[in-house]
């Protein structure tokens, strides 16, 4: 697959993983149980088929140094730094424009930086199949076969079969649908023709650019000016002037819902967008009582509890079920698993409070928050924290860190077309 390039979208704020995920340290840099960060795992998955010199990263300028630290294999000139986030359509169009200039045959596979995929063999087969379809002029997305009536994802309804290969089958796309309520999600699951919108794509750079020119002509024209200035003395000036004026829109809503070239490959690849604390906790091993965790945790009669403790304090739980505890030096979050989606509300309130305080202190509106290269240091993966056992007690361990906004992606991955702003 000599024409294949990988484009990693390293943006998105991941506010549902607050307080670890913050505007200073985006979710894609958080460590997974194996020790590598999400963005490092993303690169490792794609470099089995794509060499590092054909990997591109689109990220926010504030996080470019973090990208370089985590992905030293990626060429510095292939880390595209957005002045401000403008969602996935501008991010993808930028990368596609550069690739099309390199080769009219260039194929780009797009991956959010903050997803987890555990079944690598079917993932690689699906990527090879998608590459073949892309060479035939299709726009391809991978849809995740639903395992439950999830209400946190957008869905894609597929219709007639288009092609098959590598143990997978591609179908025409009938429609994108928004995040459903529970009853609707249950109907989707029973119907069998719906998949979760993964936010992962593959297509020829020239093909997606033609679609952008058709459906987002202003974006196409502005991006042409930006790319033509790259490598010249006016590069920075043109980027600073034009980028903030680009339409902020997802590739799903801006192009894919309108094209007749889109096909979907339903896959079972052990996918998770790690979009909330319950999903993050599920990455770690549980004991017989469903207890998972990092750091000190002593449990008495508690079940299905995840504790993430980066402090020296000892945390005790008694008789709790389905609860998440996140203990940092300056903040503690205690949340029932039924309300993990509402953590975003706390994150947004904290950000608003901080912005207001900064504005009042400085006497002006706050500017962008600078990136921080430091993250909390959790217990290394695979090491168990001390556990106290009283008949039904136990504690377990692993590791993690924070997340914030970055590239023009801005998405909560796996969201529906209109509001999926990855990743990654």
pLDDT tens string 44-66:
999 989 999 999 999 999 899 99
Q: Decide if 97 contacts 212 (C-beta within 8 A).
A: no
pLDDT at 35: 87
Lowest mean pLDDT among 47-56, 82-91, 263-272, 390-399: 390-399
Which residue has tokens 């959010």?
A: 112
175: Cα separation from own chain's centroid: 22
What DSSP string describes 313-325? S--EEES-EEEEE
Rounded Cα distance between 42 and 193, Å, is 28
Rounded Cα distance between 182 and 184, Å, is 5
3-state SS, residue 308: strand
Query: Exposure pattern of 123-133 as b/e (b: 16+ CB <10 Å)?
Result: bbbbbbbbbbb
pLDDT at 405: 34
Q: Decide if 277 contacts 178 (C-beta within 8 A).
A: no
Which residue has tokens 């009536």?
A: 149
pLDDT at 363: 58
DSSP assignment, residue 340? Answer: G
Q: Decide if 80 contacts 242 (C-beta within 8 A).
A: no
Q: Decide if 147 contacts 20 (C-beta within 8 A).
A: no
Q: What is the mean pLDDT of residues 142-154?
A: 93
Query: Quick one: pLDDT band at residue 362, thresholds 50, 70, 90?
Result: low
pLDDT at 89: 97
Q: Phi first, then psi: what are they for 120, rounded to 5°?
A: -75, -35
pLDDT at 360: 67
């Amino acid at each position: 697959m000599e024409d294949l390039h990988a484009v990693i979208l390293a943006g998105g704020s991941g506010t549902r993983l607050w307080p670890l995920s913050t505007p200073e340290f985006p979710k894609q840099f958080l460590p997974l149980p194996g020790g590598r960060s999400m963005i490092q795992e993303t690169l490792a998955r794609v470099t089995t088929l794509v060499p590092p010199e054909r990997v591109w990263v689109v990220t926010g300028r504030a996080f470019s140094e973090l990208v370089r630290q985590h992905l030293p294999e990626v060429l510095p000139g292939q880390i595209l730094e957005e002045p401000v986030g403008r969602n996935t359509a501008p991010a993808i169009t930028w990368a596609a424009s550069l690739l099309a200039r390199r080769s009219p045959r260039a194929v780009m596979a797009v991956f959010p930086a903050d997803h987890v995929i555990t079944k690598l063999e079917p993932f690689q087969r699906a990527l090879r199949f998608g590459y073949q379809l892309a060479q035939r002029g299709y726009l391809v997305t991978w849809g995740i076969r639903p395992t439950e009536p999830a209400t946190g994802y957008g869905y894609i309804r597929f219709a007639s079969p288009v092609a098959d290969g590598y143990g997978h089958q591609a179908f025409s796309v009938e429609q994108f649908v928004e995040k459903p309520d529970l009853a609707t999600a249950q109907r989707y699951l029973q119907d069998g023709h719906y998949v979760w919108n993964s936010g992962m794509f593959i297509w020829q750079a020239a093909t997606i650019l033609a679609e952008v020119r058709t459906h987002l002509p202003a974006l196409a024209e502005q991006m042409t000016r930006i790319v033509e200035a790259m490598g010249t003395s006016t590069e920075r000036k043109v980027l600073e002037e034009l980028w903030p004026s680009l339409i902020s829109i997802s590739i799903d809503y801006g192009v894919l819902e309108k094209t007749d070239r889109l096909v979907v490959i339903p896959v079972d690849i052990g996918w998770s967008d790690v979009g909330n604390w319950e999903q993050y906790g599920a990455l770690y091993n549980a004991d017989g009582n469903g207890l998972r965790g990092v750091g000190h945790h002593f449990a008495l009669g508690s079940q299905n509890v995840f504790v993430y403790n980066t402090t020296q304090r000892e945390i005790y739980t008694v008789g709790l079920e389905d609860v998440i505890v996140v203990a940092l030096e300056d903040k503690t979050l205690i949340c029932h698993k039924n309300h993990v989606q509402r953590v975003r509300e706390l994150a947004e309130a904290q950000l608003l409070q901080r912005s207001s305080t900064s504005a009042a202190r400085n006497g002006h509106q706050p500017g962008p928050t600078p990136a921080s290269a430091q993250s909390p240091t959790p217990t290394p993966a695979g090491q168990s924290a001390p556990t106290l056992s009283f008949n039904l007690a136990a504690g377990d361990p692993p590791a993690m860190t924070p997340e914030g906004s970055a590239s023009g992606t801005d998405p909560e991955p796996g969201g529906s077309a209109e509001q999926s702003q990855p990743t990654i």
